[in-house]
Structure 1
């Protein structure tokens, strides 16, 4: 029977080539979109799952509440917590520490390759708890000895051009002793930790008395990211309770309340919003739900096409169904036949889709910055999903047409007395409404994302970021020679102005905060404000307006001068700057504030116009600008406003100037406007994804609509001929065939508007600065969908209207 079903299925595919191609194209396109999105979601959902026993690994989070009720969460704890956990908690299998000490030049004496990289240090247990794949070396001993380092396979190739480098040495500017490479590891893209070098923590203990003394008594810092692996069957909340008791027993009492929880390793990627010291940008689980819905939408639209076209074409198979029933076929046989046809078409579409996905993956990986694959190494769950989706799509597309056609009575089929029942017609119309509702939702989503990103790109930030080149200061020699370098930069023909700062607007490193209040204030707690240091050319270079008071002066005595933005002035209750004294009692780079031994007394000399120095997802915050020679934070950047002419030549000249001061300094620079674009890189990716899927959704829906209109025109050939003979115009016939479908698009718009409006309202809440959802945006999306539908309908409608009525009547 199966052979017979397949034979008839192939015959029907070839007998209705146009409709078969429409269905095949729709299902293939839907499956391509579904699998590209599905592979992306699977990769995201399996973040950090490559670690053995990932389900038993946790990160320790400290929750702090200040005396005034301010809450914070920090993914870093004190040294002694991890050290004592292994000794005193039988439920803990192992524990490890990881910390980062800023950036260092990495030097390979064999070929003088130099790179600046973050200096991560980990204890000997790190590679046993978090078992990154080792390309070379022994994970149990790689980080035991001082002056040893494990490098990523990518860094191995950058430094030596080979992964076979165990035993070779590299140097940094931190210690004079070279580091021996004891291992090469692979860092998968779906890891929340992303580093190129992992230095032995024993190095810091051996080489630094200060570090050794600090760790001995450390029960209160947030310096060390700490991971623990618990034994099978043990309770994570129970261990967290034990950690709280351990710290309470050993830590000195302070004003802040503190508690500890354990965060599952697999939750870090999606659930670390608001947790300080979490590496990487992380993600939002809501986007996974959205992408999943988008993938299901486009596949559902393709299935609806199949249902609509198959049920519309049932009359062409009425005699076949009748003869089969008269010959003894029961409803079960006919249902099996029609479902086999749907499964066959779905299987062909699935094979074509997987071939296309395989070809598209390199470009898709480059776009999404992933390492997705489809082959023998692909997770078995993906292949099981492919098999399951093939069956589900085949059944979803085929089950209604199968049961509908199988229940028709043979006598009526032979007499051609079958009428399209109202219920059936209504069902098909509902499916068209669903198709275009989903299409209009996707159009609105794409438009809103595009308009929001366009708004962000053009919004006045309070400063000018174009034509600004930011050069890193990475050595003491360059920092000491900053005035000389700045003077030489200013003399270059391509440089309009230049300044030095500790941080820049749009900072890609940590933007510090200070605790500040008016001197003599009785406030229970100091105000928290962002802090940068700058010179007297900062306002001119960045085009920041001075509202009141004065700018910095090139004088040593101005090292205690401060500029504040309008938000900070309002918070402090200052309307006119008059050298008001303020006290700065501490600074925070990440984690907890570091209190000064005694508050630093500074003075406010000017108020500058508010400017955005963070992503526009964040509201404008109070900012303090200290003078470059301040005791709080040293300068870290040159910023040069360059002319738009020969920029490459100007940058080369800037590099030459810097190397005159420090020949070994690696010249690192960034264009500030490009760095700002990185804030919205993920949103731009989503915009492209939504745009691509929207185009595919509309294309599939229009192909289905085209098929339905073609069938409707064929069914009404005699009616059209009579109307034309009686004097009906071409426009009248076109309207006759179009109006019913356009009504469905109108209904689809009314369904789509509230759904899309609610979804986009929720998305825009992520931005402190956002567009308003105008009614005209929705009306425009509906009109666009109607126009696309009308163009699709009109092609076939005009063809039918221009046909010879005599020929139509004669053929009838």
Structure 2
């Protein structure tokens, strides 16, 4: 019985192989998208789930508020916190500092072999042995009690040990010597197994924290590399710890709080929430819950669209299967038997789609590698994957098959045997199918409109007047390890002088990029006739050629003079207004007081320019000049002669190698740097574009099914119209207009939804495009064109058919 059932099912699917292929293809696309999104979401929500006592572990984070009421958070803390947490504050079971450190080189000497060398290894931290009490590492060699009891010891994870000591057993690596920065020799004192679950604690090398850091009383400086965790004792609460900690912080900083009219305090971030605390993401990867929920929503929509597509294509076949169904009912098949048979066909197609989805997923993981979280491919949750797979198969089978299966039971056997196929639906019109088509195109239309608006915002963000000229500007950053090396001190200025001799280069300046995602800020004070005005001001260190190179208009005053230290300011228009100056000229010569209580004059005022991406407004900013802190070379190439840029770059590289021998020559065009500020938006655009393509494709499959059904049901009508003189164009128009109506209805429904969603997305930009009517018209034209392209094949096929064939049985 089962064998016969399988055989007849496969025969039917083969007989209707066009519809089978369309069904399998539609479901496979939806399933593969859902599978990829499940893997991503499951990975992100698995972070720190394997950490014991995670509800008792907190990260101490910094909070601050300025005089204008602006409040923000920061993951880094002052080193002065560590000593009172270790010695003076109650309610704690463990205090765990994680002070990230950086090495330029790591060298491993090997007997009678060439030493192994590694540049800029990441994820090195200084900590205490309490770290290994809080994090449940398995020790493969050494032990937690003595591993960090001296400054010349290091603990490695298994992954890092295998990198430094390839083909060496773990126990044999213990006691080996590692040389950092060619001078510091340390001994491997322990090796721990890599954590088996995704964790916020991803350090790979552990050093003993310095004695100076243990007793530091520095409560002023906060660094994103200095993180601090606590584990509460039984009965301890984070509020009780914070109250003690903030009381000490207030006593240390009270004078500065009153002088500069700001406040800082400390808060406790639960480890349970850490992975999703984007604001505190320093040195650890975080995920945005809103983005993850958005991905889940996309997965649900794509599965729903795939199921709707299957329903439309399956119900389209019912008239062709009417005789088969009628005969089965005549031979005694009950409604339950018919439903089970159809659900069996649906399950078979779903399983075929699952197999095809593996292939789609394989290519999708590579095509969209930029979206795949780091480490996700190595994370395997077999139990979760099996449960999700079973649920997915069950949901797709039931959602896709239950309505067509029920519809089959409504077929009236008497009408079938009379040849009245068009009445086999038992009087139920296929309005539900049309509603499903509308729903599919509503979703597709929302994605199309979103793609148009996101594309417009990206173009606006990259082409807006930023207040400076960034065309044909090439930038070179001196590596930090070279910048702090006394051997290379002052060489950047020498390089600039040498490059100025070459006619291939239009202009050269030293200084920080005008628009970037990184800036230094401080509070400046102006004592006016009406009172004291304090304002946080963004600083950019530049030389005397900088303003001319970037063509930033100087509204009043003069350029900066060369100086080793800050002696004067050039401010922008926003700073001008913030300090209460009525005109640019009135600000010239006025004194601003810095954090060292030094009074320095304003020597110039420039027009406003964008310091950050267009997500942020223009902030009060000031140019300063400190010769010894220059790290970036800005080079203007001839804008009208791009064919000469290659020669100019060769000249720059030659001079670079003379000044910095052995240092890699790396450059970027500034336009690329500006574009990188919108990497997240570009990724969003790619994701929406992919979702749009998939949605449109699946919707068109459903539309194709409905067109096929309509053409079949109206075969005789079309034959009669042709006999009476109707043209092919006229028939195509008749068959297509109903589908265009459905798409137009979808456009009307989708437009306000897309407007609301995109209006919310645009709120993240201080400078944004206006949503205009033509965006909706363009998206609507695209949808109508795609719909007409989809149904035209079936409409044209029906229109050119010989009417003799369709009317022969009359």
TM-score, normalised on structure 2? 0.86
SS at match of 2:384: helix
Does structure 1 conserve the Cα–Cα contact (< 8 Å) formed by 2:107 and 2:180? yes
Does structure 2 conserve the Cα–Cα contact (< 8 Å) formed by 1:58 and 1:263? yes
d(CA) in 2 for partners of 1:676 and 1:189?
36
Aligned mate of 1:322, from 326, 345, 350:
326
Q: Measure how far apart 1:74 and its partner are.
A: 3.0
CA RMSD of aligned residues (A): 3.5
d(CA) in 2 for partners of 1:741 and 1:34?
29
Change (3 A) 1:352 1:212: closer
Partner of 2:658: 657
Partner of 1:301: 305
1:489-528 correspondence to structure 2 within 5 Å: 489-492=499-502, 494-501=504-511, 503-507=512-516, 510-519=518-527, 523=531, 526-528=534-536
**Could you tell which deviates more after superposition, 492-501 or 769-778?**
492-501
SS at match of 1:229: strand
Q: Measure how far apart 1:353 and its partner are.
A: 0.6
d(CA) in 2 for partners of 1:261 and 1:443?
43
Q: Measure how far apart 1:753 and its partner are.
A: 0.6
SS at match of 2:95: strand
d(CA) in 2 for partners of 1:281 and 1:605?
43
Aligned mate of 1:682, from 680, 683, 689:
680
**Could you tell which deviates more after superposition, 75-84 or 687-696?**
75-84
d(CA) in 2 for partners of 1:423 and 1:64?
66
2:546 paired with 1:546: no
Partner of 1:105: 104
1:647-726 correspondence to structure 2 within 5 Å: 648-659=649-660, 669-726=667-724
Q: Measure how far apart 1:6 and its partner are.
A: 3.4
2:632 paired with 1:640: no
Partner of 2:111: none
d(CA) in 2 for partners of 1:555 and 1:68?
32
d(CA) in 2 for partners of 1:329 and 1:783?
48
Does structure 2 conserve the Cα–Cα contact (< 8 Å) formed by 1:77 and 1:220? no
Q: Measure how far apart 1:758 and its partner are.
A: 0.7
Q: Measure how far apart 1:743 and its partner are.
A: 0.6
Q: Measure how far apart 1:792 and its partner are.
A: 1.1
Change (3 A) 1:129 1:615: farther
Q: Measure how far apart 1:17 and its partner are.
A: 1.4
Does structure 1 conserve the Cα–Cα contact (< 8 Å) formed by 2:411 and 2:425? no
Q: Measure how far apart 1:742 and its partner are.
A: 0.9
Does structure 2 conserve the Cα–Cα contact (< 8 Å) formed by 1:22 and 1:707? no
**Could you tell which deviates more after superposition, 745-754 or 325-334?**
325-334
SS at match of 1:615: coil
Q: Measure how far apart 1:228 and its partner are.
A: 2.6
Q: Measure how far apart 1:45 and its partner are.
A: 3.0
d(CA) in 1 for partners of 2:141 and 2:766?
47
Q: Measure how far apart 1:538 and its partner are.
A: 1.3
**Deviation digits for residues 480-508 of structure 1 (CA, Å, limit 9, x no counterpart):** 4443233223234544332223x333445
d(CA) in 1 for partners of 2:665 and 2:377?
36
Q: Measure how far apart 1:546 and its partner are.
A: 1.8
Partner of 1:584: 593
Q: Measure how far apart 1:11 and its partner are.
A: 2.7
d(CA) in 2 for partners of 1:119 and 1:604?
43
1:424-439 correspondence to structure 2 within 5 Å: 424-439=429-444
**Could you tell which deviates more after superposition, 117-126 or 766-775?**
117-126
Change (3 A) 1:3 1:235: farther
**Could you tell which deviates more after superposition, 78-87 or 531-540?**
78-87
2:488 paired with 1:478: yes
TM-score, normalised on structure 1? 0.86
Partner of 1:10: 10
Aligned mate of 2:468, from 451, 463, 472:
463
Does structure 2 conserve the Cα–Cα contact (< 8 Å) formed by 1:471 and 1:670? no
d(CA) in 2 for partners of 1:521 and 1:122?
51
d(CA) in 1 for partners of 2:378 and 2:26?
22
Q: Measure how far apart 1:307 and its partner are.
A: 0.9
d(CA) in 1 for partners of 2:682 and 2:302?
21
**Could you tell which deviates more after superposition, 111-120 or 322-331?**
111-120
d(CA) in 2 for partners of 1:157 and 1:678?
34
Partner of 2:404: 401
Q: Measure how far apart 1:771 and its partner are.
A: 1.3
Does structure 1 conserve the Cα–Cα contact (< 8 Å) formed by 2:475 and 2:632? no
2:452 paired with 1:450: no
**Could you tell which deviates more after superposition, 358-367 or 83-92?**
83-92
d(CA) in 1 for partners of 2:738 and 2:462?
42
2:222 paired with 1:227: no
Aligned mate of 2:178, from 164, 169, 180:
169
Q: Measure how far apart 1:152 and its partner are.
A: 7.1
Partner of 1:531: 539
Does structure 2 conserve the Cα–Cα contact (< 8 Å) formed by 1:43 and 1:372? yes
Partner of 1:589: none
Q: Measure how far apart 1:115 and its partner are.
A: 3.5
What is the number of residues matched between the two proteins?
775
Change (3 A) 1:409 1:713: closer
Q: Measure how far apart 1:515 and its partner are.
A: 0.8
Q: Measure how far apart 1:666 and its partner are.
A: 6.5
Change (3 A) 1:380 1:516: same
Unpaired runs of 5+ residues, structure 2, are: 109-114, 639-644
Partner of 1:487: 497
d(CA) in 2 for partners of 1:519 and 1:258?
24
Q: Measure how far apart 1:117 and its partner are.
A: 6.1
d(CA) in 2 for partners of 1:771 and 1:235?
53
1:608-627 correspondence to structure 2 within 5 Å: 608-627=606-625
Does structure 2 conserve the Cα–Cα contact (< 8 Å) formed by 1:107 and 1:114? yes
SS at match of 2:594: strand
d(CA) in 2 for partners of 1:336 and 1:678?
55
Partner of 2:150: 145
2:268 paired with 1:265: no
**Deviation digits for residues 292-313 of structure 1 (CA, Å, limit 9, x no counterpart):** 2222222211111111122222
Partner of 2:240: 241
d(CA) in 1 for partners of 2:378 and 2:411?
44
d(CA) in 1 for partners of 2:13 and 2:646?
62
1:126-137 correspondence to structure 2 within 5 Å: 126-130=131-135
d(CA) in 2 for partners of 1:551 and 1:184?
57
d(CA) in 2 for partners of 1:25 and 1:619?
47
d(CA) in 1 for partners of 2:71 and 2:562?
40
Change (3 A) 1:791 1:362: closer
Change (3 A) 1:491 1:382: farther
SS at match of 2:41: helix
d(CA) in 2 for partners of 1:119 and 1:583?
41
d(CA) in 2 for partners of 1:458 and 1:432?
39
1:552-563 correspondence to structure 2 within 5 Å: 552-554=560-562, 559-563=566-570
Partner of 1:384: 387
Q: Measure how far apart 1:807 and its partner are.
A: 2.5
d(CA) in 1 for partners of 2:149 and 2:717?
88
Does structure 2 conserve the Cα–Cα contact (< 8 Å) formed by 1:619 and 1:769? yes
Change (3 A) 1:169 1:651: farther
SS at match of 1:314: coil
**Deviation digits for residues 337-389 of structure 1 (CA, Å, limit 9, x no counterpart):** 222221221111112212331354344335646344399x4442123111111
Change (3 A) 1:158 1:498: farther
SS at match of 2:560: coil
**Deviation digits for residues 32-53 of structure 1 (CA, Å, limit 9, x no counterpart):** 2222233223333334446555
Partner of 2:41: 41
d(CA) in 1 for partners of 2:443 and 2:370?
28
Partner of 1:776: 774
SS at match of 1:580: coil
